[in-house]
Amino acid sequence: MLKGSFVALVTPMTSSGAVDWDALDSLIDWHLESGTHGIVPVGTTGESATLTPTEHKRVIEVTVRRVSGRIPVVAGTGANSTAEAIELTEAAKNSGADACLLVTPYYNKPTQEGLYRHYCAIAEVVDIPMILYNVPPRTACDMQPETVARLAPIDQIIGIKEACGDAERVAAIRALVDDDFIVLSGEDAQTLQMMELGAVGAISVTANVVPHLMSAFCDCYLNGDLDGAEALDRQMQPIHEILFVETSPTPTKWALQQMGRIEDGIRLPLIELSETHHAEVRRRLSAIGAL
What residue type is assigned to position 274 of the chain? S
161 close to 8: Cβ distance less than 8 angstroms: no
Q: Please tell me the distance from the alpha carbon of residue 56 to that of residue 139, in angstroms, as a whole number.
A: 19
Sign, CA torsion 87/157/170/70:
negative
Give the SS3 label for residue 135: coil
Q: Are 194 and 167 in contact (CB under 8 A)?
A: yes
> Measured between alpha carbons, how far is 286 from 145 in angstroms, rounded to an integer?
40
Burial class (CB in 10 A: 0-12, 13-18, 19+), 281: buried
Eight-class DSSP state of 129: -
**Is the distance from CB of 106 to CB of 163 less than 8 angstroms?**
no
Q: Are 87 and 54 contacting, i.e. CB atoms less than 8 angstroms apart?
A: no
For residue 129, give the amino acid letter: P
How many whole angstroms separate alpha carbon 265 and alpha carbon 287?
25
- The residues that are catalytic are 133, 161
Q: What is the CA radius of gyration of the chain?
A: 18
Q: Mind giving me the DSSP string for 80-125?
A: SSHHHHHHHHHHHHHHT-SEEEEE--TTT---HHHHHHHHHHHHHH
The 3-state DSSP class for residue 203 equals: strand
